[in-house]
């Protein structure tokens, strides 16, 4: 309803009526399960995370160093040429102070989500991650950051092997 | 006079039960690279439109369009997905060419179905929620129901369907792209594990993974660039109503109508005018039903199974594996290789015309057909 419209035409339904079974619905629940093949590029990237390393792919034609790595250059449509180890530092390309979880539920304390341009990769190449050990109000675009890794024995070959990025010390 | 459309390149990768080394994107890139090399085109300059045939639930990725462009050479270019079988994707490409959207179009289709851990859960989402899901009738049960009725109506015997399976598995033994070749005795097929009787385990294909990319061009573009293409003489698809219970299984109307439309477009009379047929065999009885829907008698079908390689030389879905949305693309690929004389172990002699058809699987009544030729 709005300030102009107090009642829409038709029959209104309220939650109590629905729960009481006054209207008939057919409901269905399912569980979909997938196990995505990581492939050549992402497998190597994930292996690197276990070692506390970030790996990118370089294209000789355009000279770009791509992270996340891919086995093909989308601009030149050719296979990329070699693995390049890049640093685990970078700068904030963009950030958002988020009060919602990924199931859209509310958070009391915000998380700072950021795209971090990785040092050693081409301009604009980065990964999405969290920022930590920082007052959200003090985050700026261009801020220099570094990865905070989980202890080696806890790393699983997942992007969460990096706990977050924090302002560079 | 509408412009003729040609297939100027094909490329493929995979054709294994499970591809564990390549991601979906890498698989697509490998197939696309080969297709563009085959066609002699640079996707960044020459291709005006990119189409990927993909279904979000099989991908595990909603709005799968977003994961398509880079590996096809379509970054920043006109890209779309068609949630349908590969032959329908080729139909969309023809529309893009004839309407002037593009002179050259790439059509990709793939199966990365081993990534889907519970395939039945995805198949069940295709079923009507009120009638079918509630009764626990999955797609194999629907196939069992249709098979039972089809056998009754047409007098088809278990042994005849076992011959369909044996023929497909045997041809697959000579096809490097087939994952499920076998030399089987009829008795082994007759008594394979019951799924939903009369449907048995060997009546349905196992799944396989592959990517196929097909490059199409307008006749005038192909002539200007001196490409020797394979002509698409006709292409059509039809969808029936979604009511599985609508009855009448002797004829698959989607196949009959697609076929008739293709024959009209091609100016041809009947299937005997093709040197190679790749007809949908998503279940053993479906091959018989589809051929009968296209005017072949039951006796004629049984005869075709005995005659060399002209019917489903690839080994069909039963021998190659079910490739979900790439099923039709695989059949077209086989036809293109056959008319070029490069199909491998099951190459038929002197192939000038080839025909392929596909069905989208239960519970749909959606099918497609295509006629191809060279040198006329
Ligand atoms: Zn490049």
pLDDT of residue B220: 96
Q: Judge: B125–A30 Cβ closer than 8 Å, yes or no.
A: yes
A17 part of a folded domain: no
B134 part of a folded domain: no
- Residue A99 domain boundaries: 39-167
Contact at 8 Å (CB) between B340 and B129?
A: no
Q: Judge: B29–A42 Cβ closer than 8 Å, yes or no.
A: no
A83 CA to centre of ligand 1 in angstroms: 14
A23 part of a folded domain: no
Q: What pLDDT band is residue B105 in, cutting at 50, 70 and 90?
A: very high
Encoded tokens for A20: 């009481």
- Rounded-to-integer distance, Cα B17 and Cα B19, Å: 7
Instruction: State yes or no: pLDDT of B37 exceeds 90.
Output: yes
**Chain B contact present for A38, CB below 8 A:** yes
Which residues of chain B neighbour A34 with C-beta distances below 8 Å? 60, 115-117
A residues 56-85 lying closer than 8 A (beta carbon) to B: 70-72, 74-77, 79
A14 part of a folded domain: no
Contact at 8 Å (CB) between B32 and B105?
A: no
Q: Judge: B115–A35 Cβ closer than 8 Å, yes or no.
A: yes
Encoded tokens for A40: 């050549």
List, for residues A24-81, the tens digit of each pLDDT value. Answer: 888 899 999 999 999 999 999 999 999 999 999 999 999 999 999 999 999 999 999 9
Q: DSSP string spanning B154-206?
A: HT--HHHHHHHHHHHHHHHTT-TT-S------HHHHHTSPEEETTEEGGGSPP
B9 part of a folded domain: yes
pLDDT of residue B132: 86
Encoded tokens for B251: 């004829």
A90 part of a folded domain: yes
B79-82 and B5-16: which strand pairing? unpaired
CB nearest B122 (choices: A32, A70, A75): A32
Q: Which residue of B has its CA nearest to A42?
A: B23
The whole-angstrom distance between B19's CA and the closest CA on chain A is 8
List, for residues A70-87, the tens digit of each pLDDT value. Answer: 999 999 999 999 999 999
**Chain B contact present for A47, CB below 8 A:** no
List, for residues B173-228, the tens digit of each pLDDT value. Answer: 999 999 999 999 999 999 999 999 999 999 999 999 999 999 999 999 999 999 99
Burial (CB count <10 Å: 0-12, 13-18, 19+), residue B7:
buried
CB nearest B124 (choices: A30, A74, A77): A30
A57 φ/ψ angles, rounded to the nearest 5 degrees:
-115, 140
A65 CA to centre of ligand 1 in angstroms: 9
Q: Judge: A39–B26 Cβ closer than 8 Å, yes or no.
A: yes
A129 part of a folded domain: yes
CB nearest B19 (choices: A37, A74, A77): A37
**Rama region for B344: left / alpha / beta (φ>0; ψ in -120 to 50; rest):** left
- Residue B30 domain boundaries: 5-117+207-224
Which residues of chain B neighbour A31 with C-beta distances below 8 Å? 118, 121
B141 part of a folded domain: no
More confident residue, B280 or A26: B280
List, for residues B130-177, the tens digit of each pLDDT value. Answer: 888 888 888 999 999 999 999 999 999 999 999 999 999 999 999 999
A59 CA to centre of ligand 1 in angstroms: 5
A85 CA to centre of ligand 1 in angstroms: 18
B305 part of a folded domain: no
Question: Quick one: which of B357, B348, B287, B362 has its CA closest to B318?
Answer: B287
Average per-residue pLDDT for chain A: 95
The whole-angstrom distance between A27's CA and the closest CA on chain B is 8
B316 part of a folded domain: no
- Rounded-to-integer distance, Cα A134 and Cα B168, Å: 64
pLDDT of residue A1: 60
A103 part of a folded domain: yes
Q: What pLDDT band is residue A21 in, cutting at 50, 70 and 90?
A: confident
CATH number of the domain bearing residue B211? 3.40.47.10
Residues, chain A, total?
169
pLDDT of residue B246: 72
Q: Judge: B60–A40 Cβ closer than 8 Å, yes or no.
A: no
Q: Could you give the number of structural domains in chain B?
A: 1
Mutant choice from A31, A39, A73 vs B, greatest count of B C-beta within 10 A: A39
Q: Judge: B44–A30 Cβ closer than 8 Å, yes or no.
A: no
pLDDT of residue A67: 97
Mutant choice from B73, B120, B128 vs A, greatest count of A C-beta within 10 A: B73
Q: Could you give the number of structural domains in chain A?
A: 1
B321 part of a folded domain: no
B178 part of a folded domain: no
Cβ-based neighbours of B11, under 8 Å, separated by 6 or more: B30, B31, B32, B33, B34, B35, B36, B37, B38, B212, B213
Which residues of chain B neighbour A42 with C-beta distances below 8 Å? 23
B75 part of a folded domain: yes
ipTM for the assembly: 0.91
């Amino acid at each position: 309803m709005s300030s102009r419209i107090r009642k829409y035409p038709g029959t209104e339904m309220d939650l109590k009526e629905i729960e009481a079974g006054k209207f008939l619905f057919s409901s269905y629940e399912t569980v979909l399960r997938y196990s995505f093949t990581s492939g050549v590029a992402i497998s190597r990237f994930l292996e690197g995370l276990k070692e506390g390393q970030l790996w990118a792919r370089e294209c000789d034609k355009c000279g770009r160093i791509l992270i996340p790595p891919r086995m093909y250059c989308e601009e030149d449509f050719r296979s990329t040429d070699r693995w390049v180890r890049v640093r685990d530092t970078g700068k904030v390309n963009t950030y958002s102070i988020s009060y919602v979880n990924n199931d859209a539920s509310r958070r009391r304390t915000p998380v700072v989500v950021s795209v971090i341009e990785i040092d050693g990769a081409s301009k604009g190449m980065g990964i999405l991650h969290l920022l930590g050990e920082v007052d959200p109000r003090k985050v700026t675009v261009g801020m220099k950051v570094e990865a905070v890794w989980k202890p080696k024995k806890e790393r699983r070959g997942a992007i969460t092997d990096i706990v977050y990025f924090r302002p560079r010390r | 006079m509408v412009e003729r459309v040609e297939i100027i390149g094909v490329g493929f990768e995979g054709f294994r039960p499970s591809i564990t080394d390549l991601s979906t994107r890498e698989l697509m890139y490998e197939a696309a690279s080969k297709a563009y090399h085959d066609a002699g085109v640079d996707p960044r300059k020459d291709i005006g439109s990119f189409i990927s045939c993909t279904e979000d639930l099989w991908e595990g990725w909603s709005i799968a369009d977003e994961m398509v462009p880079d590996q096809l050479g379509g970054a920043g270019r006109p890209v779309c997905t068609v949630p349908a079988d590969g032959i329908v994707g080729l139909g969309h490409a023809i529309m893009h060419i004839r309407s002037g959207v593009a002179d050259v179009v790439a059509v990709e289709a793939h199966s990365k179905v081993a990534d889907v851990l519970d395939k039945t859960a995805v198949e069940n989402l295709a079923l009507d929620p009120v009638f079918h899901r509630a009764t626990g009738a999955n797609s194999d049960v629907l196939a069992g129901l249709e098979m039972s009725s089809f056998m009754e109506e047409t007098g088809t015997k278990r042994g005849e369907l076992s011959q369909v399976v044996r023929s497909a598995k045997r041809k697959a033994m000579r096809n490097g792209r087939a994952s499920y070749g076998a030399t089987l005795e009829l008795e082994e097929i007759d008594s394979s594990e019951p799924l939903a009787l009369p449907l048995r385990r060997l009546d349905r294909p196992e799944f396989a993974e592959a990517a196929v990319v097909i490059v199409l061009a307008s006749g005038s573009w192909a002539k200007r660039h001196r490409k020797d293409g394979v002509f698409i003489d006709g292409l059509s698809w039809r969808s029936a109503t979604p009511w599985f219970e609508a009855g009448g299984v002797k004829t698959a109307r989607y196949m009959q109508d697609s076929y008739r439309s293709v024959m009209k477009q091609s100016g041809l009379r009947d299937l005997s005018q093709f040197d190679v047929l790749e007809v949908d065999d998503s279940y053993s009885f479906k091959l018989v039903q589809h051929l009968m829907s296209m005017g072949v008698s039951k006796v004629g079908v049984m005869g075709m199974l005995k005659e060399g390689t002209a019917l489903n030389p690839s080994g069909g879905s039963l021998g190659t594996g079910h490739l979900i949305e790439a099923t039709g693309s695989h059949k077209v690929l086989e036809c293109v290789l056959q008319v070029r004389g490069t199909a491998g172990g099951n190459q038929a002699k002197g192939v000038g015309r080839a025909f392929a058809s596909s069905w989208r699987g239960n519970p749909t009544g959606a099918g497609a057909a295509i006629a191809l030729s060279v040198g006329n």
